[in-house]
Amino acid sequence: MRLSLGIFAHNEERNIGATLESLFSQTLFDGAAARKLGVEALEVLCLANGCRDRTLEVARSYGLDLPPHVTYRVVDLPEPGKSRTWNAFVHELSAGNATFLVAMDADIIFEQDDVLEQLVRRLLDDPRAQVSTDTPLKALATDPASLSMADRASVAASSQASKEGVLCGQLYCARADVLRKIWLPPALPVEDGFLGAMIKTSGFTSPDDFGRIGWVPTARHFFRTHRSVGGYLSHEARIIAGSVINSWLFGRLWEEGRKGHAGAFIAAQNRADPEWLHALVQAKVRVGGAWLVPAHFMLWRLQPLKGQPLSRKLRRAPIALAATALNLLACVRANAILKRENAAAHW
C-alpha cells in the first residue's frame, strides 16, 4: 500500500511549522507501525500555492530526518486557490501508484497520534466507504476556561452539525481511483461540499449514498477559527455564498450525470474555459431576483432541535437562536456577494 499526502498551504508561515510537527508525530511515520498496517511508502507534498510570506522557507526547514519509507518535498505553485491546487495534487503531483490520497489543510493539529492510521483503517475495513473523515474541533475549545460567551456559542453551534456522510475538507483520506475521476472548477468556492456531493452520487450518476463517506468519530483534529464577530460573519458568508453556487452547479451536473460520471464534463470545461463557472453564476444571478439565498440556508441552525425532548430543547434553544441570528446576518452578506458581477471570483 502506498499513500500520497498533500498539505494545502497558502500564506501559512505562522501555522505550517506546528502542523508539520504534529503530522510527523503520526504513527504512520513510524516504520514498524507502517509495516504493520501494510504501508510500503508514504509521500508527503507540501503544496505552497500563491504564497507571499515565508511559508516555503519554513516548510523546507522540516522533514530532514524522516524514516526510509517516507519522502517529503515542498512544491511551489505560483497560482493561489485550493481547487486549482487540489487538481494539481490529484492529477499531476501525487504518486501515480498511490492506493490512497490524503488531503489536509496547513493549519490543523492532530489530537491523537493515530488519526491518519484510523482513517486508513476505515477504508481497509469498509469496502463501501470511498472516503474517510474525522471530527474537526475548534482550537479554542482546548482551553474552556478562557472562552468568552461568543466563543462558547461558537463551539456549541459547531457541535450541532451531524458528521455522518459529511466530508470535512480540512482532512480526509480517499481511495485514489475515486478522486482521480473528479476535477474541481478552478473558481469553486466551497470544495468540500462539492467533493462530498461528487462522492455520494458517484459523479451525479446515482442517488446520495452517505455510506460512501465514512466518519471516524474517535479520530479528531483541531483547527483555528475566527474569534471576532466580524471574522465569523465573513467566514460564514463565504460558506453560504459558496454553497448556493454549488447548488446551482449541481443542477447542471445532474444533467451531465445522465451521460456518465460528471468529472469528465468538468475536466472538459476546465480545458475549454477555466472561467466557465463565472458564466454559470452570472446567468443564475441575472434571473434570480433581489434575494438569492434559499430559506434552508438561513434556518439550518434550528434543525438539531427537532425531535429532541423538551428539556433538551430548552437547554439548547438559546444557543440555537443566537446562532440563527448570526447566520441571518451572514446570509445578508452572502446575498450581497452573490449579487456582485464577479461573485465566483470572490475567492
Q: Is 8 helix (H, G, I), strand (E, B) or coil?
A: strand
Contact (Cβ atoms closer than 8 angstroms) between residue 91 and residue 49: no
Q: Is 328 helix (H, G, I), strand (E, B) or coil?
A: helix
Instruction: Parse the chain into domains and list their residue ranges.
Output: 2-228, 247-346
Q: Residues near 57 by Cβ (< 8 Å), separated by ≥ 6? A: 13
Quick one: pLDDT at residue 161? 52
Q: Which CATH number fits domain 2-228: 3.90.550.10, 3.40.50.620, 3.40.605.10, 3.10.110.10?
A: 3.90.550.10
Q: Rounded to an integer, what distance in angstroms lies between the CA atom of residue 175 and that of residue 285?
A: 36
Contact (Cβ atoms closer than 8 angstroms) between residue 192 and residue 169: yes
To the nearest 10 degrees (0 to 180), the angle between helices 262-272 and 276-287 is 100
Identity of the residue numbered 337: I
Please give the model's pTM, rounded to 2 decimal places: 0.89
β-bridge partners, 44: 5, 72
> What stretches in the chain show pLDDT beneath 70?
140-162, 226-227, 341-347
* DSSP letter (8 states) at residue 303: G
Quick one: pLDDT at residue 101? 98
Quick one: pLDDT at residue 96? 96
Which of 229-243 are b and which e, b meaning 16 or more Cβ less than 10 Å from the residue's Cβ?
A: eeebbeebbbbbbbb
Q: Is 153 helix (H, G, I), strand (E, B) or coil?
A: helix
Q: Is residue 101 within a helix (H) or strand (E), and if so which, with residue range?
A: strand 100-105
Q: Rounded to an integer, what distance in angstroms lies between the CA atom of residue 170 and that of residue 301?
A: 21
Q: Is 343 exposed, middle or buried (0-12, 13-18, 19+ CB in 10 A)?
A: buried
Quick one: pLDDT at residue 344? 58
Q: Rounded to an integer, what distance in angstroms lies between the CA atom of residue 4 and that of residue 34?
A: 14
Q: Is residue 236 within a helix (H) or strand (E), and if so which, with residue range?
A: helix 229-257
Quick one: pLDDT at residue 178? 98
